[in-house]
Amino acid sequence: MFGIQGRLTLLFVVIVTLVLGISGTYAQYSLGHELEVSSQRLRQGVLTRLQTSLPSALWDLDKAKVDNIVAAEMMPPELVSIRVYDTSVGLFSGKLRNDNGTISSIENDAAVGGTPVVADLAYRDSGAAGAALKPVIVGRVVVNFSRAQIDATLAAEVRRKVTEVLLLDLILVAALALSLRIVFDPLKQLRDGLFDLATRGSDEVEELPDNRHDELGEVIRGFNAIQRKVKSNIQRIREAEDEARKSAQATAKAMDDLRRTQESLLQAERLASLGGLVAGVAHEINTPVGIALTSASVLMEATEKVQASVEGGNIKKSDITRYLETASESTRLIMNNAYRAAHLIHSFKQIAVDQVSEARRRFELRDYINEVVSSLQPKLKKTRLAVSIVCPPDIMMDSYPGALAQVITNLTLNCVEHAFDPEDEGRIEIGVAQQGDWIEMRVTDNGKGIAPDMLDKVFDPFVTTRRGQGGTGLGLNIVFNLIAKQFGGSITVSSVLGQGASFVLRMPCVTPADDSALHADARLHA
Q: In 424-511, where do the E strands start and end?
A: 425-435, 438-445, 490-495, 501-508
**pTM for this structure?**
0.41
Q: Which residues pair with 390 in a beta bridge?
A: 431
β-strands 136-145, 361-364: how paired?
unpaired
Residue pLDDT, tens place only, 180-233 = 777 777 777 777 777 776 666 555 656 667 666 666 677 777 777 787 787 788
CB 492 within 8 A of CB 507: no
DSSP 3-state assignment of 201? coil
| Rounded distance between C-alpha atoms, residue 339 and residue 346, angstroms | 10
Q: How many CB atoms lie within 10 A of CB 41?
A: 10
Residue pLDDT, tens place only, 489-509 = 999 999 998 889 999 999 999
94-103, 259-268, 452-461: least confidently modelled range:
259-268
β-strands 425-435, 384-390: how paired?
parallel
| pLDDT tops 60 at residue 353 | no
Q: What is the DSSP letter of 209?
A: P
Cβ density class 432-445: b for 16+ within 10 Å, e for less: bebeeeebebebbb
SS3 content of the chain, % helix, strand, coil (to 5): 60, 15, 20
* Mean pLDDT value of segment 391-400: 91
* Mean pLDDT value of segment 72-76: 87
| Rounded distance between C-alpha atoms, residue 395 and residue 152, angstroms | 118
pLDDT of residue 524: 33
pLDDT of residue 516: 43
Q: In 307-358, where do the E strands start and end?
A: none
Q: In 294-424, where do the E strands start and end?
A: 361-364, 384-390, 396-399
Q: In 172-213, where do the E strands start and end?
A: none
Q: What is the 3-state secondary structure (H, E, C) of 142-176?
A: EEEECCHHHHHHHHHHHHHHHHHHHHHHHHHHHHH
* Mean pLDDT value of segment 296-311: 84
Q: What is the DSSP letter of 88?
A: T
| Rounded distance between C-alpha atoms, residue 135 and residue 380, angstroms | 155
CB 366 within 8 A of CB 391: yes
User: 300-308, long-range: CB within 8 Å, 24+ apart, which pairs?
Assistant: 302/326, 302/327, 302/330, 303/327
More confident residue, 9 or 84: 84
- Average per-residue pLDDT in the chain? 81
Under the phi-then-psi rule, with left for phi > 0, alpha for psi from -120 to 50, and beta for the rest, what region is 355? alpha
Amino acid making up residue 470 = G
Residue pLDDT, tens place only, 8-35 = 788 888 888 888 889 888 888 898 889 8
| Rounded distance between C-alpha atoms, residue 155 and residue 35, angstroms | 13
Whether the CA torsion 155, 161, 162, 163 is positive or negative: it is positive
| Rounded distance between C-alpha atoms, residue 284 and residue 225, angstroms | 84
| pLDDT tops 60 at residue 369 | yes
> Count H helices, E strands: the chain?
11, 12
| Rounded distance between C-alpha atoms, residue 98 and residue 113, angstroms | 11
* Mean pLDDT value of segment 64-77: 88
Q: In 422-500, where do the E strands start and end?
A: 425-435, 438-445, 490-495
pLDDT of residue 490: 94
